[in-house]
Amino acid sequence: MTKQKMPGARAVIESLYCEGVEVLFGYPGGQVLPLYDELYDANVRHILVRHEQAAAHAADGFARATGKVGVCLATSGPGATNLVTGIATAYMDSVPMVAITGQVPRSLIGNDAFQEANITGITLPITKHNYLVQDTNDIPRIFKEAFYIARTGRPGPVLIDIPKDTQIETIDFEYPEKIELRGYKPTYAGNEQQVKKAASLILKAEKPILYVGGGIIFSDATEELRDLAEGIMAPVTTTLMGMGAFPSAHPLSVGMLGMHGTRYANYAVQESDLIIAIGVRFDDRVTGKISAFAPNAKIIHIDIDPAEIGKNVRVDVPIVGDAKNVLKTLLKYVKQEQLKTDAWNKKIAAWKKEFPLTYKKDNLLRPQFVVEQISEICPDAVVVTEVGQNQMWAAQFFNYRNPRTFISSGGLGTMGYGFPAAMGAKVGKPESTVIDIAGDGSFQMNSQELATVVQNDIPVIVAILNNGFLGMVRQWQELFFNRRYSQTCLESSVDFVKLAEAYGALGLRATKKNDVKDVIEEAVKSGRPTVIDFVVEKEENVSPMVPAGAAINEILDLE
Amino acid sequence: MKHTLAILVENKPGVLTRVAGLFSRRGFNIESLAVGVTENADTSRITIVVSGDDHVLEQVEKQLNKLIDVIRVSDIPPDESVSRELALIKVGVDSTTRAEVMQIVDVFRAKIVDVGIKSLVVEVTGDESKIKAMEQLLRQFGIKEMVRTGKIAMNRGAKVVQVEKK
């Protein structure tokens, strides 16, 4: 490539072209004016959100749905700080994202200038890496590195802060071909000796279980996982982030584990003699009381991030590497061997029969029923969730068949994530039905994005499981605080149908079981951004439940 | 248990903040810190003393390695290394005590780097215990001010902490 003279702002756009970026989610402001001027006739789609937080979540949803790097853009100061929740969400769930912010001119940095915030300082603990452009000539290199860092190794968000004067200053643009990062060399291939050790443990195990998470999805290893599970006839339990990594209806699937996991998944983990953990991090919502976690199991832990191995539990065979690569190698060593897992699978099948995931099947409109209906009518939908009960029901009662069809804020648990993330997912996968399974609380945290989806014609469906409560907090208050519902009642605060209509979206409502199918079908058929208000049972609980601090087999059924 | 870590990092602005910030947010305690450029101008070396068991140390090393600007982390074992700290100690003296202070300084092979009518500035270099001993001995004369560097350490023999391996 020959060098071309251009201002820094143009260099940013050219860098985005070089990275294959087709869409940006953003919001303009004073310190990104030169950038927005370049965007005016740039060959990249810009989606104007109504709050910068939504830009970050949309970039995140886009990334999770497509596997590409999501990009968001905001001005300095409040624009940048509004991205923070979205960046932290992406960081906790290892989502590849590049966040671009404007900054006050270099000469003013540190002066408490108008709309100045030290965003690289603020995002230090919630980004994989971040940059402040101090020399305009560095823009191409910084973009090259940022995208590389965001999508490789354990993915994560990278922020680039660009002072306004560097957007104007002219440079000789040349996009670098090579990357030189002395301190960043992710390990992709697992150590062969360690893999052999793992294989020998697997072949000796009588009660193995595969415990898999988001790492499977990020490394595109669902096929290899299936081959391994079927090859060694081991049950598979997924984390929340791993929903879709293994088909929910597969005979070897035991569903989600942990606090709101299935009884049989939790029992199986606790009684197993070998846990094969892949792309997971032994989060407290999964392990429960850590000292009582899987007392008889040896643990094989495969993860691309060495710092996750041995962080929360002791590991017998650590393997640092990319899940897909490691599984491919592992498969070479475990093929066609005598297996001893028959009795184990029978035991699990009996648990499945005895303790199914269920709810009260009466004439009342219960939220679980709504999720089941969505699953039936839109089996190939991309499900995005808010946070709380809606999220758990979406995980429990939708029949997942493919990776990247369940998108949820797992680590940070960000209310208000679902709707803008659904918007991003729909932009990335316009051919898919994208449904945000929402609560009335969470939806109201970013409902202003109705304006964005209408203006940009992004036909997502928001299915509000409206119980008039901050349901998950209410559930904890019911169980642990004597039903003192302190500040969790939202009753009759909003007419969601009228709200949707006010923005020019379609608003629908279902109050009876019989209405559910019709409104879902109508929403899908309409091809318009739609909000469905499902007026569900108010005090329905997510069940079963492991109380915080208990072992995961000390699991309760709730009414 | 104390560990001395030699951390090679990119010699760029903001890197120390990243390293120090990581210690505080992960709940690791820095006992001593020293930073300086290495034999290569583009590489700095941070020496950090951290206390904790093997599990803590393992996490510290792994988390440090995740920082993009961190090139290499090495644990410097105390038995196979030399380590030094430096202190400047301003001691109050008069005509009756000056000679005694100078004698102590001499025994410790420390140096007097400034002489005033009522005070002396002593420069002492050594490991932690030597500086502590010196401080205790001078205390009786009245320490007016003291400043210490963090510890720096280097492996004995041919072993080196280099950029290449990570």
Judge if A377 and A443 occupy the same domain. Answer: yes
Q: What is the pLDDT of residue A354?
A: 96
pTM: 0.95
Which residues of A lie inside 8 Å of B (Cβ-Cβ)?
120-121, 124-125, 128-129, 132, 134, 149, 181-185, 305-307, 310-311
Closest residue by Cα to residue A234 from A258, A196, A262, A204: A204
Residue A454 falls inside a structural domain: yes
Nearest to A307 among B21, B66, B70 (CB): B66
Name the amino acid, one letter, at A93.
D
Looking up residue A295, the CATH number of its domain turns out to be 3.40.50.1220
Residues of B in contact with A310 (CB under 8 A): 55, 58
pLDDT over 70 (residue A261)? yes
> Is residue A279 over pLDDT 80?
yes
Domain boundaries B82-152, corresponding CATH code:
3.30.70.1150
Confidence band of A312 (pLDDT split at 50, 70, 90): very high
CA distance A346 to chain B (A): 39
A360 is a domain residue:
no
The alpha-carbon gap from A182 to the nearest alpha carbon of chain B, in Å, equals 6
Residue A54 CA: distances (Å) to CA of A51, A57, A281: 6, 5, 27
Separation between Cα atoms, residue A428 and residue A70, nearest integer Å: 9
Statement: residue A357 has pLDDT above 50: yes
Please indicate, yes or no, whether residues A8 and A62 belong to a single structural domain of this protein.
Answer: yes
Specify whether the CB–CB gap between A161 and A131 falls below 8 A: yes
* Mean pLDDT of the residues in chain B: 93
| CATH 3.30.70.260 assigned to B2-76 | yes
What is the predicted ipTM? Answer: 0.89
- Catalytic (active site) residue A97: no
Residue A319 domain-assigned (yes or no): yes
Nearest-by-Cβ selection for A182 from B58, B59, B163: B163
DSSP assignment of A55-104, as one string? HHHHHHHHHHHHSSPEEEEE-STHHHHHTHHHHHHHHHTT--EEEEEEE-
Contact A183 B10 (CB under 8 A): yes
**Domain total in chain A:** 3
Is A504 part of any domain? yes
Residues A336, A388 share a domain: no
Q: Are residues A154 and A251 in the same domain?
A: no
Residues A476 and A404 in one domain: yes
> Searching chain B, which residue's CA lies closest to the CA of residue A130?
B68
Share of chain A above pLDDT 90, in %: 97
pLDDT at A336: 61
Q: What is the pLDDT of residue B73?
A: 96
B95-143 pLDDT, tens per residue? 999 999 999 999 999 999 999 999 999 999 999 899 999 999 999 999 9
Please check the confidence at residue A1 and state whether its pLDDT lies above 70. no
Tell me the nearest-neighbour CA distance from B151 into chain A, angstroms: 24
Q: Is the pLDDT of residue B166 over 70?
A: no
pLDDT tens-digit readout, A45-104: 999 999 999 999 999 999 999 999 999 999 999 999 999 999 999 999 999 999 999 999
Which residues of chain A does B63 touch, with a Cβ-Cβ cutoff of 8 Å?
307
What's the Cα-to-Cα distance from A309 to each of A314, A324, B67, rounded to whole Å? Answer: 8, 17, 17
Decide if pLDDT at B165 tops 90. no
- The CATH number of whichever domain residue A105 belongs to comes to 3.40.50.970
pLDDT higher than threshold 90 for residue A339:
no
A163 part of a folded domain: yes
A391 shares a domain with A345: no
pLDDT bin (cut points 50, 70, 90) of residue B26 is confident
The residue from A293, A472, A475, A478 that is catalytic is A472
Same-domain pairing of A423 and A332: no
Per-residue pLDDT, averaged over A400-426, amounts to: 98
Kindly state the helix (H) or strand (E) to which residue B122 belongs, with its residue range: strand B119-126
Band (pLDDT 50/70/90 cuts) for residue A425 is: very high
Same domain, yes or no: A48 and A104: yes
Domain spans in chain B, listed from the N-terminal domain onward: 2-76, 82-152
Q: Which of the residues A14, A19, A38, A52 is marked catalytic?
A: A52
Q: Is the pLDDT of residue A525 over 90?
A: yes
Strands A4-7 and A170-173, how do they pair?
antiparallel
Classify residue A501: in a domain, yes or no: yes
Q: Do domains B2-76 and B82-152 have the same CATH topology?
A: yes
| CB-closest option in B17, B58, B68 to A184 | B68
pLDDT score at B52: 86
Task: Grade residue B56 by pLDDT with cuts at 50, 70 and 90.
Answer: confident
Residues A200 and A103 in one domain: no
Is residue A115 part of the annotated active site? The answer reads: yes
pLDDT computed for residue B154 by the predictor: 96
Is residue A543 one of the residues assigned to a domain?
no
The domain containing residue A266 runs over which residues? 192-354
A-to-B residue pairs, Cβ atoms closer than 8 angstroms: 42
The reply to whether A413 and A483 lie within a common domain is yes
The one catalytic residue in A22, A115, A347, A455 is A115
Q: In this structure, how many other beta carbons lie within 10 angstroms of the beta carbon of residue B86?
A: 16
A419: confidence class by pLDDT, cuts 50, 70, 90? very high
For residue A544, is the peptide bond before it cis, meaning its omega torsion is within 30 degrees of 0? yes
In a domain, A550, yes or no: no
**Co-location of A437 and A288 in the same domain:** no
In whole angstroms, what is the distance from residue A445 CA to residue A394 CA? Answer: 19
- Domain check: are A207 and A107 in the same one? no
Q: Pick from A409, A392, A533, A555: which is nearest to A464 by CA?
A: A533
